[in-house]
Amino acid sequence: MKKIIVVMFVFIAAFSAPKVNAQISLSINIGQQPAWGPTGYDHVDFYYLPDINVYYDVARAQYVYPNGNQWVYGQNLPARYRNFDIYNSYKVVVNEARPYLRNNVYAAKYAKYKGQHNQQIIRDSRDQKYFQSAQHPQHQQWEKQQTKVIVKSNNNNRDNSRNNNARNNNNNGRDNNGRDNKNDKRGNNGRN
């Protein structure tokens, strides 16, 4: 009787326990990052540019800058930033949706990086993972290499398929031991 109660308890507990789901999301956007972005990041949502208090939205490929009391998206920086050298400025990676809405936090936290020019940028990196960035000087060679890898892979698959077909055709109805695969009169594939 005790065993039945224990089994019922375990059974009820197993089906009434909350379901646990674990989800891991890994997103790599190196190819979307601009050539002036710093190396070392596989994923970036925004860059914060402390020298001019501006953000760059990687997914939209647009700058986000203050205009009066609001933040404005634009393909290019406004004229007031015309002397700003984005390749030679410090960039802070911010992986948060709409970080400009908390600009007071980022401006205070990263003010110490104003005027620093010590980051390696994607354009100058020799790490092959950055070659996928369309603005990297090695990008065209990388694309050609990727095409070669795909073509070679497809050719290898075709060759393997041909070899398997040829091997199967060369057996002429015999198994790997040379026995006839066709059913004998007893219906047991040539086995006694």
- Any idea which residue has 């090695």 for tokens? 138
CB of 87 closer than 8 Å to CB of 121: yes
Torsion of CA 134, 140, 142, 146, to 10 degrees: 100
For the stretch 67-86, pLDDT in tens is 999 999 999 999 999 999 99
Instruction: Give the domain ranges of the chain.
Output: 30-125
For the stretch 26-37, pLDDT in tens is 577 777 899 999
Q: What is the mean predicted confidence (pLDDT) over 140-144?
A: 74
CB of 90 closer than 8 Å to CB of 113: yes
192 pLDDT band, cuts 50/70/90, is very low
Token digits of residue 97: 């949706």
- What value does the mean pLDDT of the chain take? 77
For the stretch 146-167, pLDDT in tens is 776 666 666 666 656 555 555 5
Tell me how far apart the alpha carbons of residues 25 and 49 are, in angstroms, rounded to a whole number: 27
Q: What is the mean predicted confidence (pLDDT) over 14-25?
A: 53
